[in-house]
């Protein structure tokens, strides 16, 4: 994984490159390695990560580097959070790097930490948004 950091204006931008290697088994199991160190992932002053990403600090050639790691499916982080949190019951996050959770739709249930809404099976229903489970039909 190549990590690039761009600083400065377009006309006089400098680029620092860090090369990180991750075992293929880690990537193939769906674990999300730290992704690009880019000002779009950081706060305006570059001191923390934007929502949906959490900071990891590395020492690279004697300098501290900030890596912004995306939250996994079913979790989120607000701006400035140091850890990702599971989506609460009745919500879901179906993309990595989520800064918030979506409301579970009608006809579905979403337990805590859901990465997608679970459709109600035959014999069950859910007439409301934002619910954890489907109800038995009367």
**pLDDT tens digits for range 17-55:** 444 444 433 333 344 444 444 445 555 556 678 899 998
State both tokens at 32.
């999300």
Kindly report the pTM of this predicted structure. Answer: 0.67
CA separation for the pair 102, 93 (Å, rounded): 6
Which has the closest alpha carbon to 74: 57, 93, 99? Answer: 93
CA separation for the pair 10, 124 (Å, rounded): 56
CA separation for the pair 11, 30 (Å, rounded): 38
Q: Are 101 and 112 in contact (CB under 8 A)?
A: no
* pLDDT, tens only, 40-95: 555 555 667 889 999 887 777 777 777 888 999 999 999 989 999 999 999 999 99
């Amino acid at each position: 994984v190549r990590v690039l950091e761009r600083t400065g204006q377009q006309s006089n931008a400098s680029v620092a490159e860090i090369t990180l290697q991750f075992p293929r088994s880690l990537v193939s199991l769906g674990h999300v390695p730290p992704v690009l160190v880019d000002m779009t992932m950081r706060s305006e002053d570059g001191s923390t990560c934007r929502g949906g990403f959490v900071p990891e600090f590395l020492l690279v050639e004697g300098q501290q580097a900030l890596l912004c790691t995306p939250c996994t499916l079913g979790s989120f982080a607000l701006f400035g959070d140091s850890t990702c949190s599971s989506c609460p019951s009745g919500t879901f996050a179906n993309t990595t790097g989520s800064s918030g959770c979506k409301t579970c739709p009608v006809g579905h249930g979403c337990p805590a930490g859901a990465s997608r809404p679970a459709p109600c099976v035959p014999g069950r229903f859910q007439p409301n948004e934002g619910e954890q489970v489907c109800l038995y039909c009367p």
